[in-house]
Amino acid sequence: MTHLAEFIRQLPKAELHMHLEGSIEPEVMLALAERNGIKLRWETADALRRAYDFSSLQDFLNLYFEGCRVLVQQQDFYDITRAYLRKCAADQVLHAEMFIGPQSFTERGVTLQSLMDGVLGAMDDAHREDGIGSGLLISAHRHRTETEALALLDSIMPWQDRVAGIGMGGPEVGNPPSKFVSFFAECKRRGFKTSIHAGEEGPAAYVREAIELLNVDRVDHGNAALNDPSLVELLRQRQIPLTVCPLSNLRLKGVRSLELHPLRRMLEKGLFVTVNSDDPPYFGGYVNENLIEVQRCLGLSREDILTLAKNSFRAAFIDETAKSRFVASIDDYVAHHPLP
C-alpha cells in the first residue's frame, strides 16, 4: 500500500451517497434470506458475487430490488445499518448519510414502523458505541408516480425530526426530475433538505431540471453536467454539491475506465464534488476504496484528496458548527500525519 493510500484510509471523512439496501454483503443477504424463509436465485455467496457483472443501471437495479426482498423485520434493518456504520468506524467515516427507499418494502407488507425503528435504532447505537454521526435520507422512486411520492412523504412525518433529507433514485432514463416538481416543492415547504439522482445515465438536461425546477440542495452523481458548459458554470457559481460515485460509474458502464472518470475535470472546473460508494458490495469498494482508486487512476494530489474530504463535511446535511468541527479534524490529522 502506498503512503498516500494509507493517508486516505486514516483521513477523517464523511459519506453522503450510500444506499442501505445496497450495502448488504453477499453472506449477509443469504443469511437474511434464510432467516426470513426467502428463496433466492443464488445458493452461495460466490455465486451471488458473480452476478455483480452489470451492463447498465437497470441491470443492476433488477438485482438490487430482488435483494430488497430479504429485508422483512425490524432486526433485518437494524443489522444492515449497524454493519455499515461499523465499517464507517473502521474507515474513519465520522459522519454518514444513508438512503433507504421505503416503497420497496411497504408495497409487500413490511411496516414503515419496523423499517424506521430498525434503522434509527442502529444509528443511535452506532453513535453511542462508536461515536459515528449519521443521517437518514428517505428516497422516493422516480419510476413511480408523484402521487405515490407525496404519500410516502406523508407517511414519514411522524419521524420528521429524525430524517436528514429526502432524495430520489431508481431508473433515470425516461423519468426526468420534471415529473416531481410538486413533490420537491412540498418537501421544501415541510422543511426537508433535498437531493436527486441526476446525470448518472440521464442527460445534462436532467441535472439542470434538478437545479432549476426542483431547487435541490445536492445532486447525486451529476456526471453528465460536464456536457453542458453553461450548466457547469451554474453549478460552479452556486456551489451545489455533487455526490460522485466512481466505482459505481465504472461497474455500471458509465465510464470505460477510472482513468476516464470526469472527477478530475470536475475539480479543475471548481465544482463542489464529493466521493462516495453508492452500493459498496455490488461495486467493489467502500468510500476509502473509491478515494484510493481515483487517486491512483487520475493522479490526484494530496491537496485534491483533502479538498474532497473537506467537501464531504461541508456538503453534509448538518449544522455549520458541526461542519466546522469536522473540517478542523482534517486539519488536525494533516498536522500530525505529514507525508514523506
CA distance 225 to 228: 6
> Which candidate, 159, 122, 123, places its Cα nearest to that of 138?
159
Out of 21, 97, 200, 293, the active site residue is 200
CB 162 within 8 A of CB 120: yes
| Separate counts of helices (H) and strands (E) for the chain | 17, 8
Nearest CA-CA partner of 306 in 296, 295, 298, 297:
295
Say which residues have a Cβ less than 8 Å from residue 92's Cβ, sequence separation at least 6. 9, 10, 11, 12, 13, 288
Find, among 59, 29, 57, 62, the residue nearest to 44 by Cα: 29
Helix 302-314 vs helix 320-336: angle between axes, to the nearest 10 degrees? 160
Q: Is 200 in the active site?
A: yes
Contact of 225 with 236, CB cutoff 8 Å: no
Rounded Cα–Cα distance for residues 107 and 191 (Å): 26
Q: What is the distance between the alpha carbons of residues 46 and 33, in angstroms, rounded to a whole number?
A: 16
CA angle 117-312-176, nearest 5°? Answer: 75
Report, as residue numbers or ranges, the catalytic residues. 200
